Amino acid sequence: MLERMRADQFLGVHLAVNIFIGSTLLWLLLRVAAGLNPIWAIASLVAASDPEVKKALANFRARMLNAFFGCAVGLAFLAVGGSSEWKLPLAMAISALVSTYVVRVPTMWRQCPITAALVVASSLTQHSSLTGAEIGLRRVGEILLGCAFGVVVSWAMSHVWQVPAARTKA
């Protein structure tokens, strides 16, 4: 294992440090300071993080676009006729089409239907479109915050621990 770590110039360790720092900061901000559950933000931090800042920015951009459109599709489904179980698979399918044919950023295609599902499913569990939409929007906000933290931590760590030149060629 040590040989593998040396071979990739400790990029896995670099990523692990980024995730540790970012998730700790998010935990402190959301759980301790705001009393919120930070799990969605932390999951998004992991998805957006990368030792190479350009890749982290690409992940961030893709995740933001797909989250925005997924949220829009989910809210549109809630606006038309309220909340019902059949809307969940339909909203996910429509958002997958939007992601692949409108957004066309393949890095995070799956984020769009996941976000639509969060918005629609929140209304199902709350038995209220309005309350569900509010919770769904809060989750989307947590996702976007986590993505932003992923990029900021990747950028800050790139100034402390530079990515080897060999990585950028691959």
Q: In the 8-state DSSP scheme, what is residue 52?
A: S
* Mean pLDDT of the 96-105 span: 93
More confident call, 170 vs 46: 46
Rounded to an integer, what distance in angstroms lies between the CA atom of residue 19 and that of residue 38?
14
- Average pLDDT of the chain to the nearest whole number: 87
Please name the residues in contact with 20: beta carbons below 8 A apart, sequence gap of 6 or more: none
pLDDT, tens digit, 9 for 90 and up, residues 105-123: 888 888 899 999 988 888 8
pLDDT > 90 fraction of the chain, expressed in percent and rounded: 49
**Least confident piece of the model among 27-31, 51-55, 79-83, 151-155:** 79-83
Sign of the torsion angle spanned by Cα atoms 75, 80, 83, 87: negative
Domain count, the chain: 1
Q: Hey, is 155 helix, strand or coil? A: helix
What pTM, to 2 d.p., does this model score? 0.80
Query: Looking at the predicted structure, is the pLDDT value of residue 169 above 60?
Result: no
Give me the domain span that covers residue 66. 2-169
Give mean pLDDT, residues 66-93: 88
Q: Answer left, alpha or beta for residue 2, where phi above 0 means left and psi between -120 and 50 means alpha.
A: alpha
